[in-house]
A and B are shown apart, each in its own frame.
Chain A
Amino acid sequence: MDTETHAAYKSRFLPWLLLLPTFVILLVFLYYPTLETFRLSLYRVAFLGLRKVYVGLENYREIFTNPEYLRIFWNTALYSFLVVFFSMAVGLFLSVLANQKVRGWRFYRLLLIWPYALSPAVAGVIFLFLFNPQAGIVNYFLDVLFGLRPDWLTQPALAISVLVAAAVWKNVGYNVVFYLAALQNLPGDVLEAALIDGATPWQRFWKVTFPLLSPMTFFLFVMNTIYAFFDTFPFVDLLTKGGPNGATNILIYNIYRDGFEFFKTGLAAAQSVVLFVGVVLLTLLQFRLGERRVHYGG
């Protein structure tokens, strides 16, 4: 669309005046702190936070060589992968289900997506209770069915599973909204052609539907990864505090701890820069794939 056709008004000052609030806020509260984060990552705090000392790339050397920090990167990658994969897989499965031309799909959609309006903190405390070894009902059911009463938050693999379950439960609705919309907008003629060709439903889905959904899949991949990077902070903070023994300590949580509990501002800033680079790469990917979308003509 030619964006200049609407530009009927001409004024020397008015457009700048209209843009001024946006400019000021973005400059002061987004651009400046972002640049400042880069600067802080080159300093280290000394004398109980009273003085900042320039240390060059020392903070980066530390986070990329210290095994404790390397473990945090690994945790972040693993946790993000699990959250993104299961959020999207379950979201897609539920969307396909709700798209089966059944009666009342709007009703089902609503009942599938509403947890999206809940906050991670609410989901976090609810899961903290559900998976509580003594009072939680998950262990009650496991005990009745299998005679098991695992201590969820003290074993690394189990603690990660609980975090992933909470994060997926909260976010699946978002993916259902988008996948269902995409499924309903698929070109009918292609699907019909596959039907006439006698493809089985399974083949039709993987050979026709899923490739047609790929622009949406890319978009959701980016959005879910950003969710896994940032919005999962409350889950870790409420459920595990990074434990047991650092097994669920992910970048965003460690940035908070280094920055606000241990006052290692420089290290926190350096980790923020790493996360920032990740987001920039994802955003660029999204813009590139956004162009591809047009090509698919969906």
Chain B
Amino acid sequence: MKRRKLLHAIAVHALLLLSVAVVAAPVVFAFIFSTQTPAEIFRYPPKFTLGSALFENYRVVWNQYHLGLYLKNSLFISVAVTVGKTIVSFLAALALVYFRFPLKSWVFTFILLTLMMPTEIMIVALFELVTDLGWVNSYAALIVPFLASATGTFLFRQQFLQIPESLVDAARIDGAGPLRFAWSILLPMSMNVVAAMAVIQFVYMWNQYLWPLVVIREGERQVIQVGLRMLTSGQDATNWGLVMAGAIVALLPALLVFLLLQEQFSRGFALAEEK
């Protein structure tokens, strides 16, 4: 019996290690080949160790292919949307939970229904709207449409409802107005939701591809994901070392945010599911 248990544990670990390796393999190979020259990459058999173009490849994609600039742009819009959406959702949830006002259930339904409207579905009409606003090629087109969300509002609403109501009663009796209550009690008590929102929204914006592809027509303001596309379709024969270096540059920031806040990431998902 003990022997069988041991064998079982060994088998489980072996399978898990194998799965972990398979999951990691594409990125590990991407990194290895991101350090190689075209000659090294086309060698047979392939070279499975670091090549001689590590600094060269990353320098070229950063400068010549402007990934440094695109990275900055992506960082800017991701941070702007994350901060903006957190504030906008927080305020909306504050109104929904701590105020009595008429038509509340209608307001709630109004917000709820937007869950069924992903940007991709209205991309043609949204593009015409943004063109009419004169926002083509601007950061505004990448930021403003994403500043409100049903998911964010629900995350905060859910959190607020779990905070004992006695707190708000006490605050009111002490003469604290709603904004003061929100700032000095509600916000500090909702930091876990703020963190969860931050990771989910940052990664979501960082990974945007279709909308920037459509709405940003010049290089200056392009985001990193579309910059990758230019790398693959750009020049004569594809220099895979450069493309892989680009992929590594593009994946690092989101992966870093994820690893630093991965507990919040999972918890944020769990919260989002409750909505």
Chain A residues with CB under 8 Å of chain B are 1, 3-11, 14-16, 18-19, 21-26, 28-34, 36-37, 40, 94, 97-98, 100, 102, 108, 110-123, 125-130, 132, 134-135, 137, 140, 144, 169, 172-174, 177-178, 181, 219, 226, 230, 233-234, 237-238, 252, 255-256, 259-260, 265, 268-269, 272, 275-276, 279-280, 283
Contact = CB atoms under 8 A, between A and B. Distances in A.
A40 B122 CA distance: 10
Contacts of A112: 19-20, 23
Contacts of B124: 37, 40, 255, 259, 265, 268-269, 272
A33 B20 contact: no
B26 A19 contact: no
B243 to A, nearest CB: 6
Contact of B100 (A10, A18, A119, A123): A10
Given A22-B153, A123-B26, A137-B46, A279 B121 contact: yes
A119 B115 contact: no
A25 B119 CA distance: 12
Size band of the interface chain B makes with A: 35 or more
A4 B23 CA distance: 47
A91 to B, nearest CB: 11
Given A135-B41, A255-B124, A169 B258 contact: no
13 contacts: A8-B168, A8-B172, A15-B99, A15-B101, A23-B110, A25-B145, A30-B145, A121-B229, A122-B247, A125-B232, A129-B244, A276-B117, A279-B118
B165 A6 contact: yes
B125 interface: yes
Nearest to A3: B161
B45 interface: yes
B55 interface: no
B33 A6 contact: no
A111 B99 contact: no
Nearest to B128: A36
